[in-house]
Copies of this chain bind each other. A is one copy, B any other.
Amino acid sequence: MAAFGSQFFQPLGATANCSPASKKSCGRRRGNAVVAVGRDSAADVSLQSKVNILMDKIKWDDKGLAVAIAQNVDTGSILMQGFANRDALAKTISSRKATFYSRSRSSLWTKGETSMNFINVHDIFLDCDKDSIIYLGKPDGPSCHTGSETCYYTSVSDLLDQQTVENNLALTTLYSLEATIAQRKAESVSPQSGKPSWTKKLLLDDKLLCSKVREEANELCQTLEDNEDKSRTASEMADVLYHAMVLLARKDVKIEQVLEILRKRFSKSGIEEKQSRPSSN
């Protein structure tokens, strides 16, 4: 998988254990870039050199900054956005924790150094102009200082409608659907509340729900077996996904948990992964 496994940068010497508190003892300044090192091995020096070459490729603005966006590697949600300077990017590379430059405090800060809700960076991407950075990673907890999962919870359409909707997160399709299903589940505790809903019917009837999951999986297969057209396959897959997600909601399982499992499995080949599973699976 593109962003995982062997393609991810390797930790530098003892740097994986460098905590924010100990950064002075494990950091070493080369030019503007701090690269944490454990010992002066040839590999460390070589990697420092590569990091410095990388830093020189980035188009820092007149304040020495580039935009840095933290994104959840599993869900794709944009967690927060800050700015990075050379030191912040170097520290993110060496510590694997999303680190920014605070313009108000004129200092580095690692997200989570106070709250412990670090963002564990799996890979970093640069844009075509080399002046914008994505930290693609997994958050330990809420990424916003307000306790919200992400910092983007205010919808302009709500503001224009003069509605106050608390914590209306910027959700993409799969997670909007998950949120809708969760809302129907909350309503289904009082079956008379809210509108009639197919989702509520499914949530209240395990037999119906399971029969639909099996039926839709079968219909998806039939689009291959009967050589139906692509649009039919896409539509049947939508049915499978929706009904399976209702089942997840029924069991209080989040789609993010499922994606995390897939990410961990596919860092090795499918056959290797299957061989490593318990025989019951």
Contacts and interface: CB of A to CB of B under 8 A. Distances in A.
A266 B176 contact: yes
A154 B3 CA distance: 11
Interface stretch (A17-25, A26-34, A110-118, A243-251): A243-251
A238 B258 contact: yes
A138 B160 CA distance: 21
Interface residues of A, number: 113
A248 B237 contact: yes
A271 B198 CA distance: 5
A67 interface: yes
A39 to B, nearest CB: 19
B157 A8 contact: yes
A153 B176 contact: no
Given A176-B263, A251-B223, A7 B128 contact: no
A233 B251 contact: yes
B230 A221 contact: no
A257 B244 contact: no
Contact of A198 (B4, B126, B176, B274): B274
A165 B105 CA distance: 38
B8 A177 contact: no
Interface of A: 1-4, 7-9, 47, 50-51, 54, 57, 67, 69, 71-78, 80-81, 93, 123-130, 132, 134, 136, 144-146, 148, 151-162, 165, 168-174, 176-177, 179-180, 195-199, 206, 209-210, 213-214, 216-218, 220-221, 223-225, 230, 233-235, 237-238, 240-242, 244, 247-248, 250-253, 255, 257-263, 265-266, 269-271, 274, 281
7 closest A-B pairs by beta carbon, nearest first, are A76-B76, A217-B217, A198-B270, A1-B176, A124-B156, A125-B170, A210-B221
